[in-house]
Structure 1
Amino acid sequence: MYKYIIRRILIFIPMLFALTVIVFGLAKAAPGDALTGQMLADPKVDPLVYEKQREALGLNDPVPVQYWRWLSSTAKGDFGKSLVFNGRSVAELIEARFANTLYLGLFALFITIIVAIPIGIYSARKPYSLLDYTATGFGFLGLAIPNFFFGLIVIYALSIKLGWFPAQGTLSAPGMTGFAAFTDRIHHMILPGITIGLAGTATYMRYMRSEVLDVLGSDYIRTAKAKGMSDRNVLYKHTLRNALIPIITLMGFEIGALLSGAVITEQIFQYPGLGTLFISSVTNRDFPVVMAIALILGLLILIGNLLADIFYSIIDPRIRYD
């Protein structure tokens, strides 16, 4: 297993390099820059002023030179300075919002797991029951309804009409600390967390039902039952261990997908995280911030897949990588 982990890490390095090329290339292919937006906003300013600023920022340098400069700085943890937010460092902007997005992503993943896996298991053990049909219908709706539309529905129903949850922000009042701040933050995360976790919950539930049904029909499960093993032991000792393998694969993608899915959801709920920062940076063509956030999200997806591959050997000892 250790040889496999080392090989996966070695593969991870060129994939990370390819990610930096893609992120930088897409940013450079986008039309205009932050100075172009400023020029359109204030046409009275002499264009030579903006041209001098581009020269000072190195935006007129050859693309390979710009890429190497950006890659060297990024490798040191320096993402440069924002072109819009009064020259503040990109790392400072991301650090101020990353925790909010991370908490929201983990909260959405927690909701997904505690809802999807038990319902998926029950649907497999009691196929074609009322709950199974209900869960199937919910699964199709969860996959069909876009997150932004579902977010607007829950805001209208649970916030505006019923007033159960706040529709925006992270805290009810500034300066809150301790347990009160923790509970209030959870209260604010419920609506965006449900919205982000909707599609994931539907997907996990369908995968869990399918895998448990498949494993329950295996010969070794019938043998275990014939030997007198209780249904509980068959389920938790044999069935789940094999049925969780595709779930781990999904979770590897879900780490980055949850955070990237928060880009639109955070905008709907005015949640101050990476999503709102990303949207405002794209709108203002603040490409240093855009590239940094895109790189971080891509890196999280790569790390998630690396961890998923490693966990395979823990869940299923039959898997060998030698």
Structure 2
Amino acid sequence: MPWSYFIKRIFLALLTFIAIYVIVYLLIASFSPDPFSATLESGKKSDGSQAAKLAELHARYFFDKSPIVRLGIYTANMFKGDFGPIYKTGETNAIPNLFFSPLRYTILVSLPSFILSSIIGVTLGIVAAYRRDRLEDAAISGFSTFFVAIPSFVLAPFIVFIAIKLGLPFEFKDPATYGAAVTATSLIPPIFVFTITSIPGYVFLVRNQVITVLSSDYVLIAKSKGLSAVAIFFKYVFRNSSIPLVRVLLFSYVGLLSGSIILEQFFRIPGSSSILVGAAFDGEINISMFSIIFFTSLALIVNILGDMTYVVMDPRITFGAQSQTNYLAKFKHWRSRKLKEKKTNDTSRI
């Protein structure tokens, strides 16, 4: 197990997290709307008392400070487990519950979509690879190309139209009001859209990987030895093709989990996207930052886990050979050369 590589990966992940964390906070703090103005005005003209109240709120929540100072205050509080208040209500320590409570609805849509799309996509990719340059390959590739070209927000209205024609609910129904059966039925249209738009990525990846393995020398040797197609598939093709697929599967689910804002809004699913959209328009910096911290951490952890699966599934892989460029050594060489040039120039002047 190349522990030195994973230590480097963790270190780089921490640097990436810090860079995203700092840049995003400064951007949000600099350009987000004032979360107190709309609440105080409530449609009335601003007067002196409201201006004083607004100044008091700005001072209490450090909105009178620069974004860099606010970043330092937020970071110090975050290490204490305090992710800040909700400005609209003044509640403290309520952001984690506010974020994770609707996340179950996002998972309720994204998890079945992920399972269905990965199974269907992998299966179609294998079929297309084994039937390369034939009718089946052309049909599967054409299907995948068609749905790659159509964005989910364009496909969604057509699915809603079909759902209405079939008598299915086209928006989310709360199980507390309508029951579990109606809720499950209302999830069919969004799950279908998520699934159908995720399949092509798996198809193209698996098809290319399987074709590469089928063309390799060890598969040709196995065929010449008389091994059956089933034995070759499970012993060579499936195992070697699945190595890069595992990492893609992990990342694809994170993408489904964090990238469902448009479809959740379209189908009125009360998932985490509704919280994020509301926070962005209301200037709730703390809510936006908590969601960014969560999804960034999740993506970086999945990235490290994906690297670790390479070693588990194929011990022949050596991570030290992945990058042939040692940027630190190049920088040291460049710096040494510049110092020598400077010393030479100084000597010539004397």
Q: TM-score, normalised by structure 2?
A: 0.82
Measured against aligned partners, the alpha-carbon deviations of 1:193-227 in whole angstroms (never above 9, x if no partner) come to 23223332111111111111111011110001111
Code of the aligned partner of 2:136:
L
2:276 pairs, out of 259, 266, 278, with 278
Code of the aligned partner of 2:22:
V
The separation in 2 between residues aligned to 1:233 and 1:75, in whole angstroms, is: 54
Q: What aligned pairs does 1:149-188 form with structure 2 within 5 A after superposition?
A: 149-157=154-162, 159-164=163-168, 166-169=169-172, 171-174=174-177, 181=180, 186-188=184-186
- Could you tell me how far 1:142 is from its partner in structure 2? 1.7
The separation in 2 between residues aligned to 1:224 and 1:137, in whole angstroms, is: 32
Which has more radius of gyration? 2
The separation in 2 between residues aligned to 1:154 and 1:298, in whole angstroms, is: 31
C-alpha distance 40-234 of structure 1, shift in aligned 2 (>3 A)? farther
CA contact (8 A) 2:100 2:272 kept: no
1:60 pairs, out of 61, 64, 67, with 64
Code of the aligned partner of 1:16:
F
CA contact (8 A) 1:116 1:204 kept: yes
1:308 corresponding residue in structure 2: 306
C-alpha distance 256-321 of structure 1, shift in aligned 2 (>3 A)? same
2:335 corresponding residue in structure 1: none
C-alpha distance 187-74 of structure 1, shift in aligned 2 (>3 A)? farther
1:73 corresponding residue in structure 2: 77
Q: TM-score, normalised by structure 1?
A: 0.89
- Could you tell me how far 1:265 is from its partner in structure 2? 1.0
Structure 1, unaligned runs of 5 or more: none
2:342 corresponding residue in structure 1: none
The separation in 2 between residues aligned to 1:129 and 1:30, in whole angstroms, is: 54
Mean CA deviation greater in 215-224 or 133-142: 133-142
Identity percentage over the alignment?
26
SS at match of 2:187: helix
C-alpha distance 132-76 of structure 1, shift in aligned 2 (>3 A)? farther
2:151 pairs, out of 112, 124, 146, with 146
1:221 corresponding residue in structure 2: 219
1:116 corresponding residue in structure 2: 121
Structure 2, unaligned runs of 5 or more: 321-350
Code of the aligned partner of 1:141:
F
The separation in 1 between residues aligned to 2:183 and 2:306, in whole angstroms, is: 30
| 1:96 correspondence with 2:97 | no
- Could you tell me how far 1:2 is from its partner in structure 2? 5.0
Cα root mean square deviation, aligned? 2.3
SS at match of 1:99: helix
CA contact (8 A) 2:118 2:249 kept: no
- Could you tell me how far 1:123 is from its partner in structure 2? 0.7
The separation in 1 between residues aligned to 2:55 and 2:17, in whole angstroms, is: 33
| 1:132 correspondence with 2:130 | no
Code of the aligned partner of 1:60:
D
- Could you tell me how far 1:39 is from its partner in structure 2? 5.5
1:299 corresponding residue in structure 2: 297
CA contact (8 A) 1:251 1:304 kept: no
Measured against aligned partners, the alpha-carbon deviations of 1:89-117 in whole angstroms (never above 9, x if no partner) come to 21121121122223322222112111100
